């Protein structure tokens, strides 16, 4: 598994920050609206071009996202930056359209069991919700993204049926969602599983624009990124400081860390347009906000050639 950009066009990788949605969503302590918006504005200033900002779900179901419209109103919009929000149904789509989002995202689990746990409905019913709100996005000229959750495995069922994955992608494409995210919701992805899933989708839907969303539950999130790069995938979702995790997946830990991902991409010769130093400052502030140690490694170690004076360093004796 290796990757080296072959041309200038091949070098750019789009990093989508999901921390203020996927990361904060699992937190029980409410994060103030102004703090969420400030973090998004600072991410934009750091060069992040794609952000999943919030979620227009029921405030009763996810209290952390009750301020979605207020957060969107406080974001300082910048040309070339795509602001996406999660939308579960037609009511959420109308709210998202009123907030002038750039893209609406929907997710459906490829596992029937996880779909019931996460959405309280079977796959077919979840896809029916998407079919209902997709015309609303088209009406307002808003882009659509379809995410396949548990695309690489389910903690309740094991390997998911490739037929389920393709069925969901087909429904998304039929209703105008050309952007497809494959979600490693439970951290069960491995390079071979990623390869066969991406190749199966490309064989059936060559026009699909695939993004990969990995969790680092078993420590190989960035190995999966390297495999995705070798497959030609040029869009990845991640969370600042590695915050996040699926509340309906036993043992699931956070998303791959945005700073660690950007560091990897940069040392591999890829371009992201992101100022890594500025991004790391945001991540450290998020860690301070959460009042606990978060999984991100770059914010602990710094750049590879960050040198230390030998003075004062403990030395071996004897």
User: Distance between CA atoms of 197 and 192, rounded to whole angstroms?
Assistant: 9
Of 246, 257, 268, 270, the active-site residue reads 246
HSE-CB at 156 with a 13 A cutoff on CA atoms is 14
User: Distance between CA atoms of 253 and 186, rounded to whole angstroms?
Assistant: 8
Strands 235-238 and 82-86: unpaired
Contact 199, 162 (CB under 8 A): no
Helix (H) or strand (E) holding 41: helix 33-45
User: Nearest Cα to 99, choosing from 37, 42, 28?
Assistant: 37
Where does residue 272 rank: exposed (0-12), middle (13-18), buried (19+ CB within 10 A)? buried
Q: What values do phi and psi take at 202, rounded to 5? A: -65, -35
- Is 268 noted as a catalytic residue in this protein? no
Secondary structure (DSSP) of 123-157: HHHHHHHHHHHHHHHHHTT-EEEEEEETTT-BTTT
User: Distance between CA atoms of 114 and 123, rounded to whole angstroms?
Assistant: 9
Q: Which sequence positions are flagged as catalytic?
A: 246
């Amino acid at each position: 598994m290796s990757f080296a950009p072959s041309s200038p066009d091949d070098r750019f990788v789009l990093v989508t920050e999901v921390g203020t949605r996927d990361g904060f969503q699992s937190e029980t302590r409410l994060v103030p609206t102004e703090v969420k918006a400030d973090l998004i504005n600072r991410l934009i200033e750091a060069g992040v071009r794609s952000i999943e900002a919030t979620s227009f779900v029921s405030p009763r179901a996810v209290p952390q996202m009750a301020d979605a419209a207020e957060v969107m109103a406080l974001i300082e919009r910048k040309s070339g930056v795509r602001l996406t929000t999660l939308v579960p149904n037609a009511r959420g789509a109308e709210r998202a359209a009123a907030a002038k989002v750039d893209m609406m995202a929907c997710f459906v689990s490829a596992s029937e069991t996880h779909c019931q746990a996460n959405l309280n409905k079977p796959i077919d019913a979840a896809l029916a919700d998407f079919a209902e709100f997709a015309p609303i996005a088209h009406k307002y000229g808003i882009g659509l993204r379809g995410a396949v959750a548990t695309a690489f495995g389910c903690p309740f069922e094991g390997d998911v049926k490739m037929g389920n994955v393709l069925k969901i992608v087909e429904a998304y494409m039929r209703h105008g969602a050309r952007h497809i995210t494959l979600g490693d919701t439970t951290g069960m992805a491995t390079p071979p599983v990623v390869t066969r899933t991406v190749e199966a989708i490309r064989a059936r839907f060559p026009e699909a624009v695939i993004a990969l969303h990995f969790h680092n539950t078993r420590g190989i999130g960035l190995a999966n990124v390297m495999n995705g790069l070798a497959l030609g995938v040029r869009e990845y979702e991640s969370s600042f400081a590695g915050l996040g995790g699926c509340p309906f997946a036993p043992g699931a830990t956070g998303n791959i860390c945005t700073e660690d991902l950007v560091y990897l991409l940069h040392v591999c010769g890829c371009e992201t347009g992101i100022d890594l130093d500025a991004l790391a400052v945001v991540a450290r502030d998020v860690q301070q906000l959460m009042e606990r140690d978060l999984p991100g490694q770059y914010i602990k170690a710094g750049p590879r050639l960050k040198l230390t004076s030998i003075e004062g360093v403990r030395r071996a004796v004897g």
